[in-house]
Structure 1
Amino acid sequence: MFNIAYRMLGSVAEAEDVVQDAFLRWHGADQSKIATPPAWLTKVVTNLCLTRLSSARARREQYVGPWLPEPVPTADGALGPLETVEQRELVSLGVLVVLERLTPPERAVFVLREAFGHQHREIAEILDIDEAHSRQLHSRARRHVADARKRFPADRARHEEIVRRFLDATLRGDVKGLEQFLADDVVSWADGGGKVTAARRPIVGKAKVLRYMLGFQRRPELKEISAEIAEINGQPAWVLSWNHMTAVFVAEMEGERVAALRAILNPDKLRAVTNWRPV
């Protein structure tokens, strides 16, 4: 239930709330009349998420700076099996960001079909729509997500190697090293939520992102930073800690170069990461 809710909402806290609400409904229902409990719970969770998504869009329009999904450490199976490229890409921050642009029904159909393998007949029953409509929603959602899925490297070891070298170049202030990793049209997003200093607009282009990364390297707290590579949402990412603060940086690849950099600094979104490791 949590795995469905997180993929639908992109928020650990909201996903946990949905699971709690679903259990309350389960305990309040006449369970003797529920023929298939997993199907019943899937329907309840999905519809609770649809209700939340309808109000979430308005809240996120008022969010300070770019809104990014909450990162989740996944090496311990927190989001279920992530053994294939397809399974990992479906929980990647890049794909979750694109899912935010879908309508709530499109997102529900996409998650249920792509991540959990439900047939359109089952999805139609969950959403109270006909099967043809489910197929249409799925087709539209797949078109929107296609570009984000192309950016997920198949070679996991090579991806991690590039992320490690990119982190090393950043911490050393290696200009030439950073230049070789950044795509010409690279874009950097930072989610501070108004609670931590962060760029409130995307930084676009190699030159500007390079200056941003070098500026980060010159910050005095860098001397106190603890840095490591961890699996976050199915892909290698930086986890940085300093002065009881934590930040997660996820590099989205296009070939051998970083095409997008997503930084989550809002402490409200890092509970799953800070609980996973001592800070």
Structure 2
Amino acid sequence: MTETLEHPGLADFEAHRRMIFGIAYRMLGGVADAEDLVQDTWLRWSQVTWLRWSQVTGPVANPAGYLARTVTNLALNRLDSAAVRRESYVGPWLPEPLVGEPDATEGVERAETVSLAVMVLLESLSPLERAVFVLKEVFGFSYKEIGEALDRGETACRQVGSRARAHVQAGRPRYDAPADLRRRATDEFLAACVGGDLNRMLELLAPDVTSWTDGGGVVRAALRPVTGADNVARFVLGVLTQLGEATARPALVNGQPGLLLAVGDRVDSVTVFEFAEGPDGAPLIAAMRTVRNPHKLTRLNP
């Protein structure tokens, strides 16, 4: 009976696959792009580990560091072309959502750093700032390790990391309602939308709520943010009226409470909420981010 020889680098790669995907997803904002980078990282890793094994030079001393360096630099190379695509993007750009995948949000470590709100903030950083922030704040690499990975000095990386962290902290949602209250507010808003209850919707929306919709120029969507509780509520009801027979259900979106809207067996949109503290202490919806671009929802459709 012939015994199959396992690749000498496979075990280490699988042990760090979640980290590799997490770095790639945060850097590029797309699931398919991140998976491509995971594959490219494997090709490079497999070549290196196979060569070391065949030459009996021993395993790579720090697999996590080597893999993080590889995927980060691959992502940096891709960001130039991604920036060109974003310049011509129609309407607001939002990341491709991770929906109903607890393992995915666990796999990218701290779930709050993969929320759509933080992902949008990462998009506003320079590529170098984004790389340093992700490696340091999310995955806990030291500035010395980051400097070696990015071919930069430790002091320079520390300065870049401090600047990136301050930018993200300034834009990050300041109100962190308990998960059960966020879920309850999401469920109540869903019920009000389905029932066409405008008054109840207004009670659940913060007065200065803002709604972003990513249609990518492929489907109808607001090309600019919609602001104000009355405007947002009427906009949502108008979309539901246009869709006709649609079904909605609560969903986990990038580790946060959200809604999935389907028409027939096709997912039409994914929405995630941010919350502010209301006058009575209950959470109010302060922001809505909706992904309708069908290219970003292909993983959710059969």
Q: TM-score, normalised by structure 1?
A: 0.90
**Does 2:37 align with 1:18?**
yes
Could you tell me which residue of structure 2 aligns to residue 239 of structure 1?
A: 260
Query: In 2 relative to 1, CA 38–81 (structure 1 residues): closer, same or farther, beyond 3 Å?
Result: closer
Contact kept, 8 Å, 2:21 with 2:108, in 1: the verdict is: no
Alignment partner, residue 17 of structure 2:
none
Please name the residue that 1:184 is paired with.
Answer: 207
Shift of 1:102: 0.1
Q: Which residue of 165, 173, 179 maps to 1:150?
A: 173
| Deviation (angstroms), 1:117 | 1.1
Choose which of 229, 238, 248 in structure 2 pairs with 1:227. Answer: 248
Q: What are the residue-to-residue correspondences of 1:1-279 with 2, within 5 Å?
A: 1-29=20-48, 30-32=51-53, 34-73=60-99, 75-80=101-106, 87-151=110-174, 153-219=176-242, 221-222=243-244, 224-246=245-267, 247-255=269-277, 256-274=283-301
Q: For the Cα contact (< 8 Å) 2:143–2:158, is it kept in 1?
A: yes
Identity of aligned residues (%): 47
Amino acid at match of 2:77: T
Q: Distance in 1 between matches of 2:127 and 2:108?
A: 24
* Residue type of the alignment partner of 2:149: I
Question: 2:102 touches 2:255 (CA, 8 Å); kept in 1?
Answer: no
Equivalent-residue separation in structure 1 for 2:290 and 2:118 (angstroms): 15
Quick check: 164-173 or 91-100, which moved more?
A: 164-173
Q: 1: CA distance between counterparts of 2:62 and 2:112?
A: 30
Root mean square deviation, CA, Å: 1.9
Q: Alpha-carbon deviation of 1:160?
A: 0.7
Distance 1:166 1:252 in 2: 13
| 8 A contact 2:177–2:275 mirrored in 1 | no
Change (3 A) 1:26 1:165: same
C-alpha distance 150-261 of structure 1, shift in aligned 2 (>3 A): closer
What SS does structure 2 have at the residue aligned with 1:67? coil
Letter in 1 for 2:62: T
Cα gap change, 1:167 to 1:62, in 2 (>3 Å): same
Q: TM-score, normalised by structure 2?
A: 0.84
Cα deviation, residue 81, structure 1: 5.5
Q: Which has the higher contact order (CA 8 A, sep 6+)?
A: 1
Alpha carbons of structure 1 residues 59 and 69: separation in structure 2 relative to 1, 3 Å:
same
> How many residues align structurally?
270
User: Residues of 1 paired with 2:233 and 2:177: CA distance?
Assistant: 26
SS in 2 for 1:35: coil
2:16 maps to which residue? none
Q: Spell out, residue by residue over 1:232-256, the C-alpha distance to the aligned partner (whole angstroms, 9 max, x if none).
A: 1011110111134311011111221
Of 262-271 and 69-78, more deviation after overlay is shown by 69-78
